[in-house]
Structure 1
Amino acid sequence: MALLHRATLRPTKLELLAAWLPGRPWFSGPTGVDLVSRGAYRFDDPAGEVGIETMLVGAANGPVHQVPLTYRAAPLDGADGWLVGTVEHSVLGPRWVYDACADPVYAAALAHAIRTGDGQAEEYFEVDGRREVREPTMRIAVDGADAVDPSPAGAVRRVVDGELTIIGTDSVELVVIRRPGVTADGAAGPTLSGSWDGQPTTVPLAYVKRL
């Protein structure tokens, strides 16, 4: 479960991404325009230290981009090149926001979700001591999960950034589809797919690459 806070972020997530996204090699669309959120989903960090959120964003008339993010209370060692920026959270204070593809916490969560078929984390607020569930803005599902092999992903050993971003770990190679709808590379194993407002049928979002 993902506990959310009714808080203000400065800059906002979309403002942060509007400055960062056009510099990515897989970005497609107009620059210098406002971004629109198409949907988002979250995974849990079992340690409860790192926020893990994947946003689907794009210009109003442009393609949708998938941007996994991690939110941390301190800088991640060795990940300066993957820093999206910093924000001031009105409840939690300063947060370092990373392109999650280089974050081992995200790699572990993504590998676990695909291998076991676990869904997205339920999102909720605490309101006067009561849990108030927030309805998800998109739905995800896993096809081909192998629950008998939920071995940990291990350390992130390499990241190859592109339309199909490859995350190589100790035990598995993961692929994140940066622009949903881009064709997989033919080596797709168990696959995470999703749908959102404006995309009623599920499309692949990430998969385990068969070696």
Structure 2
Amino acid sequence: MSEIFNTTMDPTKHQLMAAWLPQQDWFAGEGEPVLETLGGFRLDDPAGEVGMEFIVVADTATESPVIYHVPLSYRGQELPGAEASLLGTSEHGVLGKRWIYDGTGDPVWQAQVRALLAGQVEAQHQNTSFTLEPLVKVQRPAQDGVEQADTEIRVIRRPVAGGSASDAATAWVSSPWSENGVAVDGAVLEFS
């Protein structure tokens, strides 16, 4: 289960995400975002090498905050061939230099998301070590099984409170977060 360190990162995850988000075609803000973490969860790497976090953030730089879902993977070494997914590097106060990627470009992230879909792993709490996150749910509407190996994973980058996946989805993952002090959840990953 995930071990969360009470330490510093330089630059912080928010700083790396704030520089990366405006470069994405689904970014809806103007200028550099001001980010606030609203919620999310983690997955474990069975080998214990790659950290995986699914972060729901609000960009509060505009009058109407915009909600984003940014899945990250953290590695102790550069991932060859994944330069396009690299947000940057950060100095972790305990683990040292970390390479931080958009999780979609990381094969360990892909494998663990498929394992979550198959019910082989469980979501971990975002901020508490060695703790499951029971509010993360895999939804499978009206079907017995989903073949995870052939499943396409799509990150819902702009999740909506109470939102489900698209009509084409065979399954989806919903995650909790807090909006204006109110606990909500919505789809953050979908499979087709």
TM-score when normalising by structure 2: 0.84
Structure 2 counterpart of 1:179, from 145, 158, 164: 158
Specify the alignment match of 1:23 in structure 2. 23
Partner deviation per Cα, 1:118-148 (whole Å, 9 max, x = no partner): 43124645xxxxxxx6796x93111118886
1:75 aligns with 2:58: no
Moved more, 187-196 or 86-95: 187-196
Q: Aligned partners of 2:136 and 2:112: how far apart in 1?
A: 14
What RMSD in Å do the two structures reach over aligned CA positions?
2.6
Q: Aligned partners of 1:103 and 1:208: how far apart in 2?
A: 17
Unaligned 5+ runs, structure 1: 126-132, 154-170
| Deviation of 1:194 (Å) | 1.8
Amino acid at match of 1:52: M
Aligned length: 183
SS of structure 2 residue aligned to 1:64: strand
Q: Please tell me whether the aligned partners of residues 89 and 97 of structure 2 are also in contact (alpha carbons under 8 angstroms).
A: yes
SS of structure 2 residue aligned to 1:4: coil
**Cα 1:184/1:32, change in 2 over 3 Å:** same
| Deviation of 1:184 (Å) | 4.1
Specify the alignment match of 2:189 in structure 1. 206
Greater share of strand: 1
Partner deviation per Cα, 1:24-75 (whole Å, 9 max, x = no partner): 1111123224211111210011111000001111212421110000000011
| Deviation of 1:149 (Å) | 6.2
Amino acid at match of 1:119: E
Q: Aligned partners of 1:117 and 1:73: how far apart in 2?
A: 25
Partner deviation per Cα, 1:181-211 (whole Å, 9 max, x = no partner): 37744211121112211263431111210xx
1:85 aligns with 2:88: yes
Partner deviation per Cα, 1:145-198 (whole Å, 9 max, x = no partner): 8886676x4xxxxxxxxxxxxxxxxx3211111101377442111211122112
TM-score when normalising by structure 1: 0.77
SS of structure 2 residue aligned to 1:111: helix
Q: Structure 1 vs Structure 2: percent identity of aligned residues?
A: 35
Displaced runs of 4+ in structure 1, greater than 6 A?
A: 145-150
Q: Aligned partners of 2:120 and 2:76: how far apart in 1?
A: 29
